Amino acid sequence: MKLTYPHMGEAYIAAKAMFDDLGIESIIPPFSTQSTLRLGAKESPESVCLPFKIMLGNYVRSIEEGADTIVITGSCGPCRFGYYGPLQKLILEDMGYDVDMIILDPPREGINKFFQNIKKLSGGESHKSFKVFLSAYKVCEQIDKLNEIQYFVRPRAKDKAKINSIMHRFRSQVLYAKGSKEISDLIEKTMDQLLTLDIDMEMKPIKIGIIGEIYTIIDPFSNLNAEDRLGDMGAEVHRSMTVRDWAENNLIKPLKREKPYKLEKELSKPYLPVLIGGHTQQCIGHAVNYARSGYDGLIQIYPMSCMPEIVSRSILPQIEKDYGIPILYLIVDEQTGEAGYQTRLEAFYDYVENRRRRQSSSKQAQST
Amino acid sequence: MSIKIGVPRGMYFYKYYPFTKAFLTELGAEMVPSPQTNKEILDMGSRYCIDDACLPVKVYHGHVQYLKDKVDYMLIPRLTSVVPREYICPKFGGLPEMVKFSLPELPQIIDVEIDLYKRKSNLIKALYAVGKRFTSNPYLIKRAAAKAAKELNIYENTLLQGCLPGKYMNETDIPVSNNGPLIGIATHPYLLYDSFINMKLLEKLSNKGIKFLLPEMLDKKVIEEKCSVLGKRMFWSSSKDLIGSALYMMDNSKIDGILMLTSFGCGIDSLSIDLIERLGRKTYRKPFMVITLDEHTGDANFNTRLEAFLDLVYRREMM
């Protein structure tokens, strides 16, 4: 059995750590590129959302490298993600690829099936898989830390090319690291390298929070590296959802019988009192949270025709008014052009920075 | 004077019209439905609604905007789930919010949540929550609910026998022809019965002497059975109706062709239609056409495509 899984930002690092520890051979799909997307888009339904197309491209690329089993998580609505698996399997069959697909639906959809899948994945050693899962979760925590260092360092660094080369080296080395131990050592090393860079501590960069649909904010290919672009302009970004955050709320908290996404649900209550699917409540909750923590601007990123995020998109203007925080809405699909995207990010950066300067000068004028 | 409650003619209006009407009238309120969609309503909808919402949501915004100065309350129920363990679509769940934050100066909204995902009895709670606004007598609410359920049952049976909602509501009547080819139309009720956004499709077909079969004319059991070919349980009731009826239409040899209407940006349809094509194409060879509607759809190109489809159906008959 040669496993593969779709890309979603840094998720491949944690997945690799987990499968290495379990001793299962896994193939990381080649990093998503325009040609991956073109390949996926050609075979996908025309108006399906972007993640579907990228994932399908990932599968085909992995199968070409010899993978024969695909593993993905599932859900049962109301977002379209829950039906990705069955349809993608049909498409792959029609394309002439005979692969096995393991869809990990949440346990409430049938506990037997869930354990069968886990057993299939762990090769019969279920007791070991729990320990392995925890160490993979630790890797996720480290990746989050690494990202947060990057968010802090990037706008302040004097030589931004150095960050890019450190991160590039990390991404190429991590493919050859084996198991969670080696991977976490490598992450530690990369963090140290980032921290020794020459940075300008006096600088007060504007702060921008990234909210929106989970896949498109986590996966840098789908959002055209929005975080790095903003960081290079001189903004300190923060991304509202990460792989660790997802794992904590969907896997760990239910086990501990805690309620997931408590803060987000509390904060989004005045705007959207109930769960309607996808990450709408989380998006609204994070927007309020960022606005209250003194962020200067927000960017909502979501794939074209995403059902839950369209609902949050219509609520966000009210938050804009209530908290006086500017929000940029970016919709991505396979047609998104780089130049137009960059222009919009730059315009937003300039606007937010100007706005902060005006506000602080009017505050000074008032106090004198 | 009784309280006026605005009911926008959009989304699941045609599915639950008799229920809403009977329930509100029985409680002593006056139900004020908005008129049939027209150019003005559609334009208002696309002006106020966010750009990338789907057509039915935009139309709904237009209807709310039309009604807002004419009524005391606006009924915008949050239809999270109408069948246990199945959702409809996230936009149905977020509809009150989408309207509330897009349209200014609305009257008070009755945004009761109807969520039968976990248990059916949640409907009773929801009905009491609405009823309490009009009367403090729980027996009155109970009576109204029972009457409403009865009306809905009659309505659904009428539809099952091939009657159109327009006839039931005494608004418009399309004479249904008795001979000619039979075409199956698989789509959502908000596109099928809104004759403005579907370019009077049903009327055009009837005038050409064509019979049609609609998803509402199919037994729920048939739909359920057809959906069992899917690899995973379908968790959207709207998609279940669509896939089940389309697969039934493909299977039934009396039906000469299948027409599907979808709105641009419909998330559910983007997956369902592809599933239908992939599951059905291998086995069946029947004319099958998908027409995507949006607020820019023109009458002329719609007719051209419809005629091309019908030509195909006729030609196959002759062969």
Domains of chain B: 4-160 (3.40.50.11890), 174-318 (3.40.50)
| Domain annotation covers residue A181 | no
| Domain annotation covers residue A266 | yes
| Domain shared by A123 and A212, yes or no | no
Tokens of A217: 């904010």
| Domain shared by A212 and A345, yes or no | yes
Question: Is A47 within 8 Å of B94 when comparing Cβ atoms?
Answer: no
Give B259 or A253, the one with higher predicted confidence. B259
- Domain count along chain A: 2
Residues from chain A contacting residue B83 (CB–CB below 8 Å): none
B1, pLDDT greater than 80: no
| Domain shared by A216 and A349, yes or no | yes
- Whether the CB of A269 is below 8 Å from some CB of chain B: the reply is no
Question: Is B98 within 8 Å of A94 when comparing Cβ atoms?
Answer: no
| Domain shared by A128 and A217, yes or no | no
- Whether the CB of A40 is below 8 Å from some CB of chain B: the reply is no
Q: Which pLDDT score is estimated for A62?
A: 95
| Domain annotation covers residue A188 | no
| Domain shared by A214 and A341, yes or no | yes
Phi, psi values for residue A223, rounded to 5°? -105, 20
Q: Which pLDDT score is estimated for A118?
A: 77
Domain endpoint, select from A132, A160, A182: A132
Residue that the structure tokens 């001189």 belong to: A234
Tokens of A87: 């349809």
Distance CA A338, CA A223 (A): 10
| Domain annotation covers residue A152 | no
- Whether the CB of A331 is below 8 Å from some CB of chain B: the reply is yes
What mean pLDDT comes out for the span B108-125? 90
Distance CA B30, CA B2 (A): 6
Q: Which pLDDT score is estimated for B70?
A: 93
B177, pLDDT greater than 80: no
| Domain annotation covers residue A158 | no
Q: How far is B32 from chain A (nearest CA, A)?
A: 26
| Domain shared by A222 and A123, yes or no | no
Q: pLDDT digits over B142-161, tens only?
A: 999 999 999 999 999 999 98
Establish, for the pair of chains A and B, how many residue pairs have beta carbons separated by less than 8 Å.
Answer: 124
B25, pLDDT greater than 80: yes
Residues from chain A contacting residue B96 (CB–CB below 8 Å): none
User: What Å distances lie between residue A105 and A85, A252, A259, B169, CA to CA?
Assistant: 10, 15, 19, 44
Residues from chain B contacting residue A46 (CB–CB below 8 Å): 270
Task: Please name which of B131, B130, B133, B68 lies closest in space to residue B99, comparing C-alpha atoms.
Answer: B68
Q: What is the CATH number of the domain that holds A52?
A: 3.40.50
Among the partner residues B52, B231, B278, nearest to A331 by beta-carbon distance: B52
Task: Please name which of B76, B81, B72 lies closest in space to residue B60, comparing C-alpha atoms.
Answer: B76
Q: Which pLDDT score is estimated for A126?
A: 65
Distance CA A29, CA A65 (A): 8
| Domain shared by A361 and A240, yes or no | yes
Question: Is B53 within 8 Å of A78 when comparing Cβ atoms?
Answer: no
| Domain annotation covers residue A37 | yes
Cβ(B181)–Cβ(B313) below 8 Å: yes
Give mean pLDDT in consecutive 10-residue pieces for chain A, a chain of 368 residues.
91 92 90 94 93 96 93 85 92 93 82 79 71 91 95 94 94 92 95 94 94 94 94 95 91 84 91 88 95 95 93 94 95 92 96 93 83
Residues from chain B contacting residue A106 (CB–CB below 8 Å): none
Question: Is B271 within 8 Å of A83 when comparing Cβ atoms?
Answer: yes
| Domain shared by A119 and A237, yes or no | no
| Domain shared by A215 and A359, yes or no | yes
Question: Is A305 within 8 Å of B265 when comparing Cβ atoms?
Answer: yes
The sign of the dihedral angle between the CA atoms of A220, A221, A223, A229 is positive
Question: Is A90 within 8 Å of B232 when comparing Cβ atoms?
Answer: no
Q: Which pLDDT score is estimated for B317?
A: 83
Q: Which pLDDT score is estimated for A124?
A: 63
Give the domain range for residue A80: 3-132
| Domain annotation covers residue A348 | yes
Cβ neighbours of residue A21 under 8 Å, at least 6 residues apart?
A132, A135, A136, A179, A180
Question: Is B267 within 8 Å of A317 when comparing Cβ atoms?
Answer: no
Domain endpoint, select from A132, A151, A176: A132
Distance CA B115, CA B249 (A): 30
Q: What is the CATH number of the domain that holds A259?
A: 3.40.50.11900
Question: Is A308 within 8 Å of B94 when comparing Cβ atoms?
Answer: yes
B231, pLDDT greater than 90: no
Q: Mean pLDDT in chain B?
A: 91
> ipTM of this model?
0.92
Q: How far is A273 from chain B (nearest CA, A)?
A: 10
Domain endpoint, select from A84, A104, A132: A132
| Domain shared by A344 and A227, yes or no | yes
| Domain shared by A118 and A252, yes or no | no
- Whether the CB of A1 is below 8 Å from some CB of chain B: the reply is no
| Domain shared by A209 and A91, yes or no | no
Cβ(B266)–Cβ(B273) below 8 Å: no
